[in-house]
Amino acid sequence: MIQKEHRSKKLNLTHEAEMLTREVISAPFRLRTYRLLRKILVGFILVSIANVLFAYFFYTPKMYRINRENHDLIIRYRILQDRIRTAQQRLNSIRHRDNFVYRSLFSTDTLSVPEVWQSYPDTKYAVMEGDKFEPLMIDTWKQLDALARQIYLASVSLDELQEMARNKEQLSAAVPAIWPIDRAALHNNYIGAFNLRRLHPVLGYVRPHLGIDFGCDRGTPVYATGNATVEVASERGYNGGYGRMVLLDHEFGYKTRYAHLSKVLVKPGEQVTRGQIIALTGNTGVSSGPHLHYEVIHKGRPVNPINYFNRNMTPEEYDALMEKMRETKFEPL
């Protein structure tokens, strides 16, 4: 019994000795592991700080690549802007020939599409806001959009000229190109001017004067200024102040109006030719005296009729007439 107790105590002492030995061995290992991890962590922090400082003061290979790509992008945008300017110059040359050469040959007005000159809303470019190159990108896209709109205008204009070329003979006869009354019948060359903003001489407020007025005696013959179809032939009525009136449709986008007449000599639907007498002047409607109110309407927009007369006048006569027109306010419409 005593021997068994002695043997048990001996085994316990041996086990405790082994446990102490293991603890003595494992403690330095954990300490070394902790110190190693601490060194690794401190080293990582130091390396990160060094990398940040280096990146702040020096370019890394990645930053060199990014900066080079950004620089190339700016160059490409500048090249694109140069090409846009070159295309714009060529387009301006085409528009100049269109307005002052081609359309002069056909005696037609410049094509007007006001929407072409209206910029797109800024919301279209909102996707580029906040970008590092926002000013450069938005400015370039606005130039491209403006160029595209003007190219559309040039395309429509050339299509129209192509159609006119197919019908040149009919067009030349249809364009309103003569005086609507005999120039000798004018009272002292008295013509009221075309003016989109004119003080109404009767009503006393600003109202556009969409035609020109020829001061003459009542009963002066009125001529169709181009081949046309009679659209309106009003022999009576107020007609918005026009009084007795004739409206001719010349096709090709042209219409002409003859107002304040004393007598209408044509009927709606009738075909008339240039120089044909269609009415006699008078003083009907809102009018301050006998005269002819004459309008030229191109594609729904009133244009200055005097521009269609200057081909039959010397430059001196035309300048004198324009000066005279600026001084007169004959007709109250």
**pLDDT at residue number 307:** 78
Res 330 pLDDT > 90: no
**pLDDT at residue number 164:** 76
Give the residue among 40, 23, 154, 180 at the shortest CA–CA distance from 88.
154
**Neighbour-count burial of 284, counting CB atoms closer than 10 A to its CB (0-12 exposed, 13-18 middle, 19+ buried):** buried
Res 23 pLDDT > 80: no
Extract the tokens encoding 60: 């890394």
| Residue with tokens 């009415």, as numbered in its chain | 279
**pLDDT at residue number 240:** 81
Residue 127 CA to residue 143 CA, distance in Å, equals 17
**pLDDT at residue number 333:** 41
The answer to whether the beta carbons of residues 75 and 136 sit under 8 Å apart is: no
Pairing of strands 195-199, 271-272: unpaired
**pLDDT at residue number 272:** 95
Residue 151 CA to residue 90 CA, distance in Å, equals 11
The answer to whether the beta carbons of residues 270 and 246 sit under 8 Å apart is: no
Collect all residues with Cβ–Cβ distance below 8 Å to 185 and sequence separation of at least 6: 214, 216, 217, 220
| pLDDT tens column, 115-153 | 888 888 888 888 888 888 888 889 999 999 999 999 998
Q: Which residues pair with 177 in a beta bridge?
A: none
What is the three-state SS of 147-188? HHHHHHHHHHHHHHHHHHHHCHHHHHHHCCCCCCCCHHHCCC
| pLDDT tens column, 174-221 | 889 888 998 888 877 677 776 655 555 555 555 677 888 888 899 999
* SS3 at position 236: coil
The answer to whether the beta carbons of residues 131 and 138 sit under 8 Å apart is: no
| pLDDT tens column, 234-253 | 988 788 888 999 999 998 88
**pLDDT at residue number 25:** 55
Collect all residues with Cβ–Cβ distance below 8 Å to 15 and sequence separation of at least 6: none
Phi, psi angles (nearest 5°) of residue 158: -65, -35
Phi, psi angles (nearest 5°) of residue 214: -110, 110
**pLDDT at residue number 99:** 79
| pLDDT tens column, 25-81 | 555 666 777 777 877 887 778 777 777 776 666 666 777 787 888 888 889 989 999
Average pLDDT, the chain: 79
**pLDDT at residue number 194:** 66
Comparing 206 with 295, the larger pLDDT belongs to 295
The pLDDT confidence band at residue 1, using thresholds 50, 70 and 90, is: low
Terminal Cα-to-Cα distance of the chain (whole angstroms):
143
Residue 122 CA to residue 120 CA, distance in Å, equals 7
Comparing 20 with 50, the larger pLDDT belongs to 50
Residue 224 CA to residue 279 CA, distance in Å, equals 9
